[in-house]
Amino acid sequence: MKLIPRHQAGSAGSGNGQMWLHVRRPNLPWRQASLTECGDVLDDRMPLANRDDVLEQVAAAGMQATTAAGICPACLTAACRWPTFAADPVRAVAREYADRNPRFAAELRALGVLAATHREELDTLLAELADVTDVAEARRRRRR
């Protein structure tokens, strides 16, 4: 994993001179806004670490070593706690509820309107998705 040394990272830090690399929060499929895992709005000057690389480093070296490498502790905790939408859509959406994201209610209302407006397409898509086997669920069933 390649990380930018702390002294080259941007100005976002812990307040005690520590410079942190942030981790980009995976967007929900309908969302364009870009946030960090810790909830900051991304800007072009913000130093970022790749989420997959950070999670790999946590698996290999642990949380403390990864924080020592300069990863924002709040980003690190959130990246380890919350899955991507592709991995677990229910928990990814639950994160937005848990974070009390003010846009979330409006997004749900908009999705409801789209679903009502395109009911036939939604029903077709849901039927197609019901036919797809969840690999993780199939493995769990096989182990039982």
8-61 pLDDT, tens digit each: 344 444 455 567 899 999 989 998 878 899 988 888 888 898 999 999 999 998
In a domain, 140, yes or no: no
Residue 107 lies in a domain: no
For residue 18, is it within any domain? yes
Number of domains present in the structure of the chain: 1
Specify whether the CB–CB gap between 75 and 23 falls below 8 A.
yes
The closest alpha carbon to 45, from 22, 27, 73, belongs to: 22
Residue 137 placed within a domain = no
Q: Say how far apart CA 79 and CA 72 lie, in whole Å.
A: 10
Kindly state whether residue 111 falls inside one of the protein's structural domains: no
Average pLDDT, the chain: 82
Domain assignment present for residue 132? The answer is: no
pLDDT at 31: 87
- Strand-pair partners of 13: 19
For the chain, the C-alpha Rg in angstroms (whole number) is: 19
Name the residue with higher pLDDT: 22 or 137.
22
Let me know if residue 96 belongs to a domain. no
pLDDT for 113 beyond 90: yes
Supply the pTM of this predicted model. 0.70
Alpha carbon 63 to its chain's center = 17
Q: Does the pLDDT value for residue 1 go beyond 50?
A: no
- pLDDT tens digits for 120-130? 999 999 888 88
Q: 66: domain range?
A: 1-82
d(CA 46, CA 32): 18
CA distance 110 to 81: 27
Least confident of 3-12, 28-37, 134-143: 3-12
The verdict on residue 10 lying in a domain is: yes
